[in-house]
Chains A and B, each alone.
Chain A
Amino acid sequence: MLSRTADNLYWIARYMERAETLARLLEVGARMSLLPTAQGFRNEWESILNATGQTAAFQKKYDSFAQRNIESFLFFDRDNPSSIASSLTAARENGRIVRTALTGQVWDALNTTFQELRQIERTPRSQLELSRLTDWTTKQTAMLRGAIDATLLRNDGYDFLNLGFAIERADATARIIDVKYYVLLPRAGVIGAGAENDQWAMLLRALNLNRAFHWAYGGELTAHKIAHFLILNPACPRALMTCGQEIDTALKHLAQLYGRDTEAQHLAQGLLQGLSAATPEAIFEEGLHDFLTRVIRETAALAGAVHDSYLSGDM
């Protein structure tokens, strides 16, 4: 496979995953904004923005954290390279370049998304409920995933797509937890239990995992349980462990297919071993923020190695 083709596939997945993450964050923001404001709580829209790592860029262009501004910036704004509109467009453009590596159905999913996006962009904002936008986005990304799973050859192209999904998701999960890491820090009942519970619930909701959590653990929410679920539990679809396993599987398959190991396989193994050896206790001992920072750095190094070993064509 051409290195450029692999690169395009990888980025289709990253952009689509990015759009999905943003849609989920927007959904949470909308939900939070419907709850009565508790005393001393920060503006939730601001924390949503923090999770995307784009607060500075936002403030350059918009003067307040009003919902409409956030929606504009995170969904519609073409000046924001990570907005949902930008990501979906970039994914489709990458797809158009590698049409030959996609099945008709996969292309259809990407292209239909883009065509509908253009419709949405022409619709007056007053007719666009935020929930409609986020539902639509997650539906489109699900459709793409479905088309990939149902129709694509299980060859190297499939591995590069999966690498893109898993790397982007690992990064997103780590960042989302990191934004709220302080609410997970075990404290000896300093803050009222009610307030803390709300924050935890919101974190789970941000990852669309609140119900899954209760099925998996039951009982009271605790910081340890949540950290375990989001970081270490391979049953949780967004957990760092799950992402690490998916990355490792794709890379192992590539190594087998091409008959050679690269730095990427090496780093993926390292990431996975680190997660396997970790316990919630050890993580809190290291410091949740420090641990997440390390994971984010390791994921970035891994993405770099994937690029150098497969996508750049310089080897």
Chain B
Amino acid sequence: MTHFNEMFESDQVRSPYAGLQAWMNGMPAALRVQKQAEAEALFRRIGITFAVYGEGGDPDRLIPFDMFPRVFTHSEWGKLERGIKQRAKALNAFLTDVYGRGEIIRAGRIPANLVYQNEAYERAVAGFVPPKGVYSHIVGIDIVRTGPTDFFVLEDNCRTPSGVSYMLESREMMMRMFPDLFRENRIAPVDGYHEALRRTLMSVAPQKCQGDPTVVILTPGHFNSAYYEHSFLADLMGVELVEGADLFVDGEYVYMRTTEGPKRVDVIYRRIDDAFLDPLCFRPDSMLGVPGLMDVYRSGGVSICSAPGAGVADDKAVYTYVPEMIRFYLGEEPILQNVPTWKCAGTDDLKYVLENLPELVVKEVHGSGGYGMLVGPKSTKDEIETFRHKILKDPSNYIAQPTLSLSTTPTFVEEGVAPRHVDLRPYCLVGERIELVPGGLTRVALREGSLVVNSSQGGGVKDTWVLAE
């Protein structure tokens, strides 16, 4: 399989990377090693680490950082931006619809059971419309590239996509280590993200809020693998980082416990799952949530971002209908394409999938983080057979996609510079307005030939440049 190399087309350097060739060639191995060590020391000192669930080992493990930037031209980004915003808009329209009248289902454009029987569908919020009709305030859309103009959406993340701190810190790191690059290239800044995020969160203050809304970030706590990001964002926005036990419900409102007594909270940017939000409404054994929170939410006393129930839009089976949503709600054609997907729930699709397992990527409908998936071309016969049995046991739990020929970008490796596969996760903000900073998180599969970029599977990150006009 040949892969699109974002820097070299045959032997020519593609225009977005023109500014990097001299830099790459002018970097002796010793300097590269020294800079890499410098970057690692900085990351560790700042405390940017990523604990991997269930792996034990070093809780202070660093996400590998690759110094070779990934670059988009202004016009490439323009198309991506339009496509991302379009998608974020349609996903929110879909959520408003399925917790309301369900027009898209009545119109027969998406099967009712896929929505209403979905584990992520929250009956508890049916009929309630959150402020500004926004359910998913931060939409992370995973995009892969297969050619000069071919971009595909791999999946949508409507709940609490993580990783934006790496986007910001990677840029910080590059500017600190290679200031000349930023003088020589016109690179659009990403440091407006936290301002835009705060604007977004404040714009969805609840009905009963008077004056300036008080925003907090709700974290499961410092043992969570993304805790660094939670505290980083709280710090940038100048808002409190709270845990469930810091909040309590009294009457119609939510308060946080402060040294000056209770203080009312208006908007909660939560980084915990629906199931843990409120032990009275969801999982009764949750120690992370706030008893009574959902009652306050439904009576307009507090906003929760993303809204409980938003997960029904980023299900991998619902994903296949997003182009349909765009046509239905916006009357537009999708700017970004979906990856062709077979739903194992359908008999014909299942038959095709089982016959072609060695060529396909099979994923669990609710899975995330690169866990529980089969990459056909990279698997042994035994692994494929084991997976076949898993699919047969519960076909509706799986979808399959062709193995995409992911683009590569030059990446620093042991021997020098070599192409490695990458994807892209931009973070689209939806509030009163829809905003997108020019950039995102580029994840890179550091192992040669690997297509799995998830940080939980040993992937690394890169700075992502969008060149100004």
Interface set of A (CB-CB < 8 Å, partner B): 1-6, 93, 96-97, 99-100, 104, 107-108, 111-112, 115, 156, 160, 254, 258, 310-311, 313-315
> Apart from A3-B259, A4-B245, A112-B45, what 17 extra A-B contacts exist at CB < 8 Å?
A1-B260, A2-B240, A3-B246, A5-B240, A6-B259, A96-B227, A96-B231, A99-B231, A100-B234, A100-B241, A104-B46, A107-B47, A111-B45, A115-B44, A313-B257, A313-B258, A315-B261
Interface residues on B, range: 20 to 34
Complex: chain A residue closest to B241, CB-CB:
A100
Check if B242 sits within 8 Å of A2, measured CB to CB: yes
Q: Which residues of A contact B221 (CB under 8 A)?
A: 97
A5–B241 Cα distance when bound, in Å, is: 9
Q: Cα distance A165–B275 when bound, in Å? A: 41
- CB pair B259 A310 closer than 8 Å: yes
- The reply on B451 being an interface residue by CB < 8 A is no
Is there contact, CB below 8 Å, between A258 and B259? yes
Q: How far is the CB of B255 from chain A (nearest CB, A)?
A: 10
The contact of B222 among A6, A96, A104, A314, by CB within 8 Å, is A96
In the bound complex, how far is the Cα of B240 from the Cα of A112, in angstroms?
25
Among B227, B242, B259, the most chain A Cβ lie within 10 Å of the Cβ of: B259
Pair B246/A2 contact, Cβ less than 8 Å? yes
Q: Does B243 contact A (CB under 8 A)?
A: yes
CB pair A1 B234 closer than 8 Å: no
Q: Which of B317-368 contact A (CB under 8 A)?
A: none
Are the CB atoms of B47 and A1 closer together than 8 Å? no
B residues 177-226 near A (Cβ < 8 Å) are 221-222
Q: Are A3 and B258 in contact (CB under 8 A)?
A: yes
Q: Which residues of A contact B240 (CB under 8 A)?
A: 2, 5, 100
Interface check B250, CB cutoff 8 A: no
B246 near A313 (CB under 8 angstroms)? yes
Residue of A nearest to B44 (CB): A115
Contact B260 A258 (CB under 8 A): yes
- Contact partner of B47 among A5, A99, A100, CB < 8 A? A99
Given contacts A4-B245, A310-B259, contact A108 B231 (CB under 8 A): no
Q: Is the CB of A111 within 8 A of B47?
A: yes
Residue of A nearest to B245 (CB): A4
Residues of chain B with a CB closer than 8 A to A1's CB: 258-260
Give chain A nearest CB distance to B307 CB in angstroms. 24
Chain A residue with the shortest CB-CB distance to B49: A96
Bound: A264/B171 CA distance, A = 46
3 nearest A-B residue pairs (beta carbon): A313-B257, A99-B231, A100-B235
Question: With A99-B47, A315-B261 as given contacts, are A2 and B235 in contact (CB-CB < 8 Å)?
Answer: no
Q: Which of B223-268 contact A (CB under 8 A)?
A: 227-228, 231-232, 234-235, 240-243, 245-246, 256-261
Q: Is the CB of B222 within 8 A of A2?
A: no
User: A4 and B231: CB pair below 8 A?
Assistant: no
Residues of B within 8 A of A311 (CB): 259
Smallest beta-carbon distance B273→chain A, Å: 21
Per a CB cutoff under 8 Å, which of A4, A108, A111, A258 touches B257? A4
A1 CA to B242 CA, complexed, in Å: 11
Contact A2-B45, Cβ < 8 Å, known A93-B222, A97-B222, A99-B235: no
If A99-B47, A107-B47, A112-B45 touch, whether A2 touches B258 (CB-CB below 8 Å) is yes
Q: Of all chain B residues, which has the CB nearest A257?
A: B260
